[in-house]
């Protein structure tokens, strides 16, 4: 398995500084991000988007800059994180053009939230991905769907049901173990067994629950070691299915980026032995 870093944990850094720090910490790649400035991030990610120069609008200048920086440091770009309007074909095409320009093999796409009706929401996502497959063929970039809290596809089983209608050559899956804490948790082994033909990227982050002033429980991002997700068990489950793809660290806990990069690299190297 190869270790990479997600752009959302590089806020406060210029792309130049981010590339240098990631390389020096021992990682092999960066999952850069693009955003639509008219699309607000979810509340749980607002801090990560704040002052984040590694997630920018999809300009040619940004694409050429990060591609060149990664070439200079011999870092791969395993995937592109796209925070664009959901179920929007024009925005999806923009993301694929950007992904093609930076030579990313895959791009995350957004199937959106559900509209209070299961069947219509599922069918809308299926129609969207049907069109996305044609774009994937045209641009030579694989499109990935992620288990996202607040959507119909927060759980691995629902995600598996959706992607099973498509060729894994064009549609793949990002499995985020930290998102499973927020919503959609299922047995790691079962989840990986269902998603195995489509599993392309794994995101590693963690979270904890804390009770507010009333009866409501809220999730907060934690370090990989201290959150609710059992990272060692998850890693063993990945090894059991002989997963050899990318592990993208997306640690959004409140610690310095430099410390987070170093601590997570050492921790994951220990688990990979």
pLDDT confidence of residue 251: 95
Q: What is the pLDDT of residue 71?
A: 97
Cα 13 to Cα 35, 51, 113, 205, 270, distances in angstroms: 17, 8, 31, 19, 27
* Alpha-carbon dihedral angle through residues 78, 122, 205, 240, given to the nearest 10 degrees: -70
The structure tokens listed for 188 are 């790691």
> Which 8-state DSSP code applies to residue 80?
E
Structure confidence by residue, pLDDT tens digits, 26-60: 999 999 999 987 777 777 777 778 889 999 999 99
Q: How many other C-beta atoms are found inside a 10 Å radius of the C-beta of residue 249?
A: 24
Q: Which whole-number Å values give the CA distances from 70 to 21, 32, 84, 110, 204, in the listed order?
A: 12, 11, 23, 26, 21
Write out the chain's pLDDT in tens, 273 residues. 999 999 999 999 999 999 999 999 999 999 999 998 777 777 777 777 888 999 999 999 999 999 999 999 999 999 999 988 777 899 999 999 999 999 999 999 998 777 778 999 999 999 999 999 999 999 999 999 999 998 999 999 999 999 999 999 999 999 999 999 999 999 999 999 999 999 999 999 999 998 877 778 889 999 999 999 999 999 999 999 999 999 999 999 988 899 999 999 999 999 998
For the chain, give the number of residues: 273
Answer yes or no: are the C-beta atoms of 144 and 174 closer than 8 Å.
yes
123 to 126, 239, 245: CA distances (angstroms): 5, 34, 30
Q: Comparing C-alpha atoms, which of 245, 82, 247, 63 is closest to residue 168?
A: 245
Predicted pLDDT at 45: 79
Residue 90 has a CB neighbour count (10 Å cut-off) of 9
Question: Where do the H-state alpha helices sit in the chain?
Answer: 15-24, 46-49, 60-73, 89-101, 118-139, 156-163, 179-182, 188-195, 231-240, 257-272
Query: Which pLDDT belongs to residue 26?
Result: 96
Q: Are the C-beta atoms of 88 and 63 separated by less than 8 Å? A: no
Predicted local distance difference test score (pLDDT) of residue 88 = 87
């Amino acid at each position: 398995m190869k270790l990479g870093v997600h752009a959302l944990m590089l806020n406060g850094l210029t792309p130049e500084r981010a590339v240098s720090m990631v390389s020096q910490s021992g990682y092999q790649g960066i999952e850069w991000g693009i955003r639509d400035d008219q699309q607000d991030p979810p509340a749980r990610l607002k801090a990560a988007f704040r002052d984040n120069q590694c997630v920018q609008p999809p300009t040619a200048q940004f694409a050429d800059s990060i591609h060149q920086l990664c070439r200079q440091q011999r870092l791969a770009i395993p995937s592109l994180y796209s925070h664009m309007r959901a179920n929007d074909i024009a925005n999806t095409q923009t993301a694929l053009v950007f992904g093609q320009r930076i030579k990313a093999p895959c791009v995350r796409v957004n199937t959106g939230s559900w509209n209070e009706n299961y069947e219509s929401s599922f069918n809308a996502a299926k129609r969207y991905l049907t069109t996305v497959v044609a774009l994937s063929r045209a641009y030579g970039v694989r499109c990935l769907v992620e288990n996202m809290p607040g959507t119909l596809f927060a759980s691995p089983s629902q995600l598996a049901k959706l992607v099973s209608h498509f060729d894994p050559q064009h549609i793949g899956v990002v499995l985020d173990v930290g998102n499973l804490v927020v919503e959609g948790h299922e047995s790691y082994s079962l989840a990986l067994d269902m998603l195995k033909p489509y599993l392309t990227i794994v995101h590693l982050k963690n979270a904890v629950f804390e009770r507010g002033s009333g009866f409501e429980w809220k999730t907060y991002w934690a370090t990989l070691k201290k959150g609710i997700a059992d990272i060692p068990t998850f890693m063993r489950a990945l090894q059991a299915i002989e997963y050899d793809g990318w592990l993208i660290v997306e640690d959004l806990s409140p610690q310095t980026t430099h410390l987070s990069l170093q601590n997570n690299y050492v921790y994951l190297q220990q688990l990979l032995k």
